[in-house]
Structure 1
Amino acid sequence: MEQFLWSIGAFIVALGLVVTFHEFGHFWVARRCGVKVVTFSIGFGKPLFKWHGKDGTQYQVAAIPLGGYVRMLDHEVDPVTEQEMAGSFRAKPVKQRFAIVLAGPVANFIFAIAALWLMLMIGMPAVKPIIGAVAPESIAAQAGIQPGSEIVAIDQRRVQDWQDVNLALVRRMGSEATVFTVMEPSGVRRDVPVSLQDWQFDPDRESTIGSLGLDVYRPQIRSTIAQIDPDSPAGRSDLRVGDKIIGFDGTQSANWEQIRSFIADHAGERVTFQVERNGNVRTLDVLVGEIDGRGYLGIVPEVEAYPEEYRFTLQYGPIEALQGGVARTWNLMGLTVNMVGKLVTGNVSVKNLSGPVGIAQGAGAHASYGLVYFLSFLALISVSLGILNLLPIPMLDGGHLVFYVIEWIRGKPVSERVQEVSFRAGLLLLMVLLSVTLFNDLGRLFS
């Protein structure tokens, strides 16, 4: 319940911020063009609280935090005097109306740059993309990628950490091939062509990296017990902190993964462990507990320290951070457009789409990691919202822009009848997309 409330809170903050900046873009340019703004609303539905500014605009926060809007004076809808006609949106030249509508998505891109600039100013802890293992017969193994290698570029685009690698691989979804540039443990740098023709990636079950057969480097886990939960099967047994497990039920093994699997498979059973304590070998009987049908003991193993040379902090001064923010926002824009194109062509399945539930889960997870991770998530959501609104779908900013371009070329507006039919079709398409994303989200939630 606590995690649910945390996710909902983070979702409201994230969506509230990106929507506020989007609507402020419309608002700011509209005011500069002399358009009267009647209402500036964050959220839909009944206002929770509202106030009137000196500029005559009603500002409000509404009950449904799934968007927002800026309502501008429209002489074809609102009763206006001759003096007020100059402040009507539809009375403005097409170029000004185009600028006002375009300003919303542009504001989202500016917000993303600002969020990433702040993130890079604060500094984000990161680790180099060092490969821990390569699964036999996997795509990576067939390409000849070696364990212990560092990925330094994908398709000639530099990558600094695993997040960069993941984004680069998402960009290649639906493609036939890619090229990894790796620094091998011997110090040799080489380009490795990787065929993606047989790449099957299910985002609900695995990561992009794991689907290629790559494993992120992790420090070795020892079989020595580092912690014991007092209120657990291990806490009620003769096991002690510092014991090194060297076997179980007559099998000699100090491999932690084998030990963990053995424990998980013997829920509710009494098993025998061989442990090394102070140089002596002891045999201990332990009753394995059970959680959700799987066995557990309540022990934590020792883990080797992560090599300091693999760690670094992505942190820059104000100018470099701004340059980095612009570059990363541009990359996110390209990635989003690329994914939209592949969804349209069918190279990427609609099962990969996420809706409000998925966004809420992502917001909660990133917020729990810390401010810099939440800023990164805000940038991604803001860019996605900006690109989504630029799609040439009636009801979205992009649909209005298409009508304005046509008006610009023809010298007269698109007929009201055509616009009305287009808006209904656009609304239907958006409802279908929302239904698909909610279906996907609920499927992931209950799978």
Structure 2
Amino acid sequence: MFDFFWNLGSFIFALGILVTVHEYGHFWVARRAGVEVLRFSIGFGKPLYRWYDKHGTEYVIAMIPLGGYVKMLDGRVDDVPSDKQHLAFNNKPVMSRIAVVAAGPIANFLFAIIVLAAMYMIGVQSAKPIVGNVQVNSRAVQANIQSGDHILSMSGKEVNTWQDVTFSLMSHLGEDVIEVKVKDAQQQIAIRKINVDGWKLDKQDEAPLTAIGIMPFRPALTLTLGHIAKESAAELAGLQINDTIKSLDNKPVTSWQQFVQIIQSSPNQTLSLNIERNGINQIIQITPQARQGQDGTMQGFLGVVPLLEKWPDGYIETRHYGPLDSMVLGAEKTFELVRLSFDMIGSLLTGQVSVKNLSGPVGIAVGAGTSVSYGIVAFLSFLALISVNLGVFNLLPLPVLDGGHLMYYIIELIRKKPVSEKTQELGFKVGAIVLIALTCFALLNDVSRL
């Protein structure tokens, strides 16, 4: 229950920031284009709090925190007095209307640059992309990628983190070969060629690295507890962080994997767990909770996470940058994310990425809660990623989105006359149906992941 409210609160906080940024983009440009703004609302539904500025604009914090909007004076929906015709959005030149509509997504991209720049100035700690294991009969094995290889570049572009490697893989979907520059365990530089001809991300939530057979290096799991979930069977049994597992039902436990297998095979069964706490052995009775596994069978669940062994020297890197370098890096990373987002949309349309990988608000909420728990740097990275996705999504040429309005205005710019109201109305209906269908599909994907 705690995780639910934590994720929900993090989601509302993150969404509130991003929606405010997006709508402020529309608001700021509308004001400078001479459009009268009637309302700036964060959320929908019944207003919880409202106030007015000297221009008469109403600012609203509404009950349903799932979006927002800027309401402008518009002769298509309002009765506009003759003395205010020049302030109506629909009476502005088409270039002014394009600027107002495009300002929302642009604000999201600018926000991502600023957030990423702040992240780089704080300092980014990450694991170097050093290969842990390589799956048998995988594309990575065929490319002769080996355990201990340090990936230096992908198709000529330097990579410093596993996120860089993942983004590079995703950006090369649909190609034949990816050249990977590595430094092997003997410190020798080599070029490996991964055959990605016909490669698709057609399984739900399958990571690109896993799909080609690469397992990033991670320190081994210990038998010492590092985290205990709230209201879990472990907490109810009295287990504590830093307890070390010794045996289970008088059988020695020698690895975390062995412990997990026993717990999963014992749903709702009481077991005697021997632990060491502060140098003293204790016996604790535990009863793993039952939950459904991926194969449909009931499995035991204790709610504990182990500590990891120490990272080897040189495997973790912390990078700090000055203000100017941070802004440049933030801009470069934002551009990369925008390009990758459009690439993924194209891959979804061509079937190279399965629609099973779409995430909706539940997936975003879980991501928000997880990133907040990891600290400010992880949360800033999450905010930047979602801000870019929000901007790109709004640029899709669906009439109910900013991109749909831009499409109509660009057509008007070319034809020298607006698109007919009948055509626009039909487009809005089709766009709404497509948007609702996408939302429902993403929600179904979210539910299937729970």
- Same fold by TM-score greater than 0.5: yes
Distance between the aligned counterparts of 2:437 and 2:235, measured in 1? 52
Give the 3-state SS of the residue equivalent to 1:77 in structure 2.
coil
Instruction: Decide which of 437, 440, 444 is 2:442's aligned counterpart.
Output: 437
Alignment of 1:40-439 (within 5 A): 40-197=40-197, 199=199, 201=201, 204=204, 206-221=206-221, 257-258=257-258, 261=261, 290-292=288-290, 304-439=309-444
Deviation at 1:163, TM superposition (A): 1.8
SS of residue in 2 equivalent to 1:308:
coil
Cα shift readout 1:401-437 (whole Å, capped 9, x = no counterpart): 1111111111111111111111111111111111111
Do 1:8 and 1:364's aligned partners in 2 also have CA atoms closer than 8 Å? yes
Amino acid at match of 2:208: T
What is the deviation of 1:312?
1.4
Contact 1:151 1:183 in 2 (8 A): yes
Q: Which segment drifts farther, 397-406 or 253-262?
A: 253-262
With normalisation by structure 1, the TM-score equals: 0.85
Deviations 1:131-162 (A, max 9, x none): 11112222211210011011112222221111
Structure 1 residue 224 displacement after superposition: 9.3
CA distance in 2, matches of 1:161, 1:5: 31
CA deviation map 1:93-136 (0-9, x unaligned): 11111111111110010011011111111112211011111122
How far the C-alpha of 1:193 sits from its partner, in A, is 1.1
* Same amino acid, percent of matched pairs: 45
Measured after TM superposition, the shift of residue 197 of structure 1 is 4.0
* Secondary structure at 1:413 match in 2: coil
SS of the equivalent of 1:326 reads: helix
Instruction: Specify whether residues 176 and 412 from structure 1 end up closer, same or farther in structure 2 by C-alpha distance, changes over 3 A only.
Output: same
Change (3 A) 1:93 1:183: same
Structure 1 position 379, deviation (Å): 0.6
CA distance in 1, matches of 2:3, 2:235: 25
Q: Distance in 2 between matches of 1:272 and 1:377?
A: 39
Distance verdict in 2 for CA 1:91–1:337, change over 3 Å: same
Following superposition, the deviation at residue 89 of structure 1 comes to 0.6
The 3 A distance-change label for structure 1 pair 432 and 130 is same
Bigger Rg over Cα? 1
Cα distance in 2, alignment partners of residues 155 and 261 from structure 1: 41
Count of residue pairs the alignment pairs up: 428
Aligned to 1:277: none
Unaligned 5+ runs, structure 2: 229-233, 275-282, 291-297
| Aligned residue identity for 2:71 | R
Alignment partner, residue 281 of structure 1? none
Partner of 2:293: none
User: 2:29·2:103 contact (CA, 8 Å) conserved in 1?
Assistant: yes
- TM-score, length-normalised on structure 2? 0.84
The CA distance in 1 between the partners of 2:375 and 2:185, in whole Å, is: 33
Q: 1:280 is matched with which residue?
A: none
Q: Partner letter of residue 357 of structure 2?
A: N
The answer (yes or no) to whether the contact 1:232–1:298 under 8 Å persists in 2 is no
Displacement of 1:350 after TM fit? 1.1
Per-residue CA deviation, residues 311-356 of structure 1 (Å, 9 max, x unaligned), is 1113211011111100110110011000011112222221111111
Cα deviation, residue 256, structure 1: 5.6
Label 1:192 to 1:7 Cα distance change in 2 as closer, same or farther (>3 A): same
Corresponding residue for residue 280 of structure 2: none
Q: Secondary structure at the match of 2:126?
A: strand
Q: SS at the partner of 2:95?
A: helix
What CA RMSD, in Å, does the superposition of the two structures yield over aligned residues? 3.5
Distance 2:30 2:189 in 1: 53
| 2:273/2:286 contact within 8 Å kept | no
1:289 to partner: Cα distance: 6.0
Q: 1:430 is matched by which residue type in structure 2?
A: L
Q: Is residue 45–residue 62 contact of structure 1 (8 Å, CA) maintained in 2?
A: yes
Distance in 1 (alpha carbons) for counterparts of 2:421 and 2:91 = 16
- 1:304 to partner: Cα distance: 3.6
Please give the secondary structure, in 2, of the residue aligned with 1:28: helix
Q: Which amino acid aligns with 2:56?
A: G
Q: 1:427 to 1:271 in 2, by over 3 A?
A: closer
* Distance in 2 (alpha carbons) for counterparts of 1:145 and 1:44: 52
Deviates more, 1:320-329 or 1:180-189: 180-189
